[in-house]
Chain A
Amino acid sequence: MLEALDLHKHYHQGEIDVVAVNHFTYAFPPGLTAIVGPSGSGKTTLLNLLAGFDVPSRGEVRLDGQPLSRLSEDARAELRLRYMGFVFQQWNLIPTLTALENVAFPLMLAGVTPKERVNRARHLLETVGLGQRAAHLPSKLSGGEQQRVAIARALALNPPILFADEPTGNLDSASGARVVDLLLHQAQEGRTVILVTHDLELARKAARILHLRDGKLLRVEEASLERA
């Protein structure tokens, strides 16, 4: 279970003190949670804190009761490897590795044997419909295909939490829908999927929507039962 407790993040921009995240408290249940808000409302900053990329100015993020900010950078990296998967808006893949090798990358970090890595990575690529593109470099894949490779990679170590920051931001609606369906499917399997977007239409597919404004959690909108 991922919890944010009274999270604060300040940035100093010369004289001005920018509060990017302000009194944010929320416990993320399994299923798809969308975080929406206008540009500059603090969505990316919040995600950085939840994933342990950055440390909060105040408050804390807890993963299964363990406060992330007390851990070293390397310990947080290890935690991400085991518990979190990521899909970013763009530049998700390591450009010199093939699709298969990109998916196998976290498996290598986790010390999975080379043979097992290839098997698992191949299987994951098939589940996102890219079995044929295993040997292709990212530059030979379309934006939508790259995002699907990123999803396959995020699932490589079967983590309980998935983060997606504007994963469809650079995609046409058809490939965007395909990416969202994959994420939705993972949420239905019981994973905690946190989707950051400014697209309300997209957010409607989530079980709940967190509305962020000026770094504050404005309201939580639960989806009606028949949709969830």
Chain B
Amino acid sequence: MEVLALVYRNLRARPIRSILTLLGIVVATASMVLFLSFGEGLRKALGAELSKVGPAILVISEGSEAFGAGYPELPPELLGHIKALAPELGITRAIPTAVFARGGFDPASSFIFQGLPAGVTAQDLYPNVRLAAGRLDPGQQGAVVGGGIAERNNLGLGKTLRLSPQVSLEVVGVLERSGGLTDSFIYVPITAIQTILNTQNYSSILVSIGPDQSAERVARALEARLEGIKAQTTGDVMRFAERAVRISDLVRFGISLVALIVGGLLVANTVMMSVYERIREFGLMRALGAKRRFIFGLVLLEALLLGVVGGLLGLGLGQAASGLVNWYTLREVGLALSAVTFRLASFALLVAVVLGLLAGFLPARTASRIRVVEALGRV
């Protein structure tokens, strides 16, 4: 009781200084939480997006990266080759798609057109998709728009979409909002995309497999049998993304480390000052029979308390900031970009505790080495 009272009342005895120091830790922790929450958000969003994709394997051209939403590079014959392998590899369906993105800096003015072959609907690709109005099949001259993009750009049934001077499509279906990237997609006939880009190629071929097939094994077999392609499973995409996210985590942690170090120095400085002001008090405690360890612990506890309380408040602030970011990105692109996961929260608190301990070590050592005679000689 007395120990905590001592620590707490000493911090409260100099309220402004303690609060300023605390703020340093709060801001440092909050910025770290926010920075790292983007990585966690990406992981979560990616996992959620991938789980919405029906087909197990994505075939793209060998040179392209991960998501394969680039310029169509797969030759049309490839579809025939894959279909020829279907019985042997247990492939149930192969759907070619072509993607055309018309972007702006503002996410609201960016459009992603996904071209589907005749008879294929968005539901074949993303089984969770639900129709809000009109019909699912874009047909020859139609377009089916995602819920998010329909709302943002006021694309109701019957509206005309001009993809190029030659190609105009009429909105024939609107999907329900589902939260996620697909809310921002527009599904159109693949021929429309191919006309605009003046090619017969595909961007990707989505391959579905039978329930007793392993996606991993089929993907590797496809790569071995066919030239110039990459066959990705959701696992591959996750692993690739995880590597990228981890590197960016490190970079972002490095940046927040600056704030953390400044926060730590702030605590060290505050606690050191309070040690110098209390030399007499520590000398008195030693005279009364306190061991060095006791004084050391007392001072360390003070720094630790600043670290823990600052860490908790910083976590709260970081979470609030993350919520604000998500509110914005959800509205704009339908994705929660930031997530404060349990492991991120634990990590942040751990960092705050370690920070407190490191910051308290030197002042604690100084305090525990105060000599009684010198301390008592002071007034």
Interface residue? B177 (CB, 8 A): no
Q: Is the interface of A mostly helix, strand, loop or mixed?
A: helix
A residues 89-142 near B (Cβ < 8 Å) are 90-92, 94-97, 101, 104-106, 108-110, 114
Binds B, one of A34-42, A73-81, A182-190, A204-212: A73-81
Q: Which residue of A lies closest to B1 (CB)?
A: A114
Question: Is the pair B379, A96 in contact by a Cβ cutoff of 8 Å?
Answer: no
Q: Which residue of B lies closest to A54 (CB)?
A: B373
Query: Given A53-B373, A54-B372, A91-B379, do A78 and B291 touch, yes or no (CB 8 Å)?
Result: yes
Most buried by A among B2, B3, B286, B373: B2
Distance, CA A100 to CA B34, complexed state (A): 46
Interface residue? B253 (CB, 8 A): no
Question: Is the pair A80, B287 in contact by a Cβ cutoff of 8 Å?
Answer: yes
Question: Is the pair B13, A86 in contact by a Cβ cutoff of 8 Å?
Answer: no
Distance, CA A43 to CA B373, complexed state (A): 13
Distance, CA A95 to CA B280, complexed state (A): 11
Interface residue? B241 (CB, 8 A): no
The one of A80, A95, A97, A106 in contact with B5, judged by C-beta atoms closer than 8 angstroms, is A97
The one of A79, A92, A95, A101 in contact with B2, judged by C-beta atoms closer than 8 angstroms, is A101
Q: Is the interface of B mostly helix, strand, loop or mixed?
A: helix
Distance, CA A114 to CA B2, complexed state (A): 9
Q: Inside 8 A of B5's CB, which chain A residues have their CB?
A: 96-97, 101
Interface residue? A88 (CB, 8 A): yes
Q: Nearest-CB distance from A219 to chain B (Å)? A: 27
Q: Nearest-CB distance from A10 to chain B (Å)? A: 14
Question: Is the pair A91, B284 in contact by a Cβ cutoff of 8 Å?
Answer: yes
Question: Is the pair A77, B10 in contact by a Cβ cutoff of 8 Å?
Answer: no
Q: Inside 8 A of A77's CB, which chain B residues have their CB?
A: 286, 289-292
Q: Which residue of B lies closest to A92 (CB)?
A: B284
Distance, CA A109 to CA B297, complexed state (A): 13
Chain A count of residues within 8 A CB distance of the other chain? 31
Distance, CA A92 to CA B376, complexed state (A): 10
Query: Given A94-B281, A95-B281, A97-B2, do A105 and B372 touch, yes or no (CB 8 Å)?
Result: no
Query: Given A97-B2, A97-B5, do A78 and B281 touch, yes or no (CB 8 Å)?
Result: no
Interface residue? B320 (CB, 8 A): no
Q: Inside 8 A of A114's CB, which chain B residues have their CB?
A: 1
Q: Nearest-CB distance from A57 to chain B (Å)? A: 13
Interface residue? A158 (CB, 8 A): no
Interface residue? A48 (CB, 8 A): yes
Interface residue? B294 (CB, 8 A): yes
Interface residue? A61 (CB, 8 A): no
Q: Inside 8 A of B10's CB, which chain A residues have their CB?
A: 96
Q: Which residue of A lies closest to B10 (CB)?
A: A96
Number of A-B contacts (CB under 8 A): 72
The one of B6, B371, B373 in contact with A94, judged by C-beta atoms closer than 8 angstroms, is B6
Question: Is the pair A81, B289 in contact by a Cβ cutoff of 8 Å?
Answer: yes
Q: Which residue of A lies closest to B8 (CB)?
A: A96
Q: Which residue of B lies closest to A137 (CB)?
A: B9
Query: Given A94-B6, A94-B281, A95-B281, do A86 and B372 touch, yes or no (CB 8 Å)?
Result: no
Q: Nearest-CB distance from A108 to chain B (Å)? A: 5
Query: Given A51-B287, A77-B286, A78-B291, do A105 and B2 touch, yes or no (CB 8 Å)?
Result: yes
Q: Inside 8 A of B1's CB, which chain A residues have their CB?
A: 101, 108, 114
Q: Inside 8 A of B291's CB, which chain A residues have their CB?
A: 74, 77-78
B residues 346-379 near A (Cβ < 8 Å) are 371-373, 376, 379
Query: Given A53-B287, A94-B281, do A104 and B2 touch, yes or no (CB 8 Å)?
Result: yes
Interface residue? B16 (CB, 8 A): no
Q: Which residue of B lies closest to A83 (CB)?
A: B289
Distance, CA A105 to CA B3, complexed state (A): 9
Q: Which residue of B lies closest to A55 (CB)?
A: B373
Question: Is the pair B288, A105 in contact by a Cβ cutoff of 8 Å?
Answer: yes
Distance, CA A104 to CA B3, complexed state (A): 11
Query: Given A54-B372, A91-B280, A104-B2, do A109 and B9 touch, yes or no (CB 8 Å)?
Result: no
Interface residue? B245 (CB, 8 A): no
B residues 316-337 near A (Cβ < 8 Å) are none
Q: Inside 8 A of B2's CB, which chain A residues have their CB?
A: 97, 101, 104-105, 108
Q: Nearest-CB distance from B278 to chain A (Å)? A: 9
Q: Inside 8 A of A91's CB, which chain B residues have their CB?
A: 280, 284, 379
Q: Inside 8 A of A48's CB, which chain B residues have their CB?
A: 372-373
Q: Inside 8 A of B344's CB, which chain A residues have their CB?
A: none
11 A/B residue pairs, CB under 8 Å, sorted by A: A51-B287, A54-B371, A74-B291, A86-B287, A88-B284, A94-B6, A96-B10, A97-B5, A101-B5, A104-B2, A105-B288
Q: What 15 additional pairs, Cβ within 8 angstroms, besides A77-B291, A95-B281, A96-B13?
A: A48-B373, A53-B373, A54-B372, A77-B286, A81-B290, A86-B288, A88-B376, A91-B280, A96-B10, A101-B1, A101-B2, A101-B5, A105-B285, A109-B289, A153-B288
Q: Return the 8 tightest CB-CB contacts between A and B, nearest first.
A: A81-B289, A96-B9, A53-B372, A80-B289, A74-B291, A54-B373, A53-B373, A108-B2
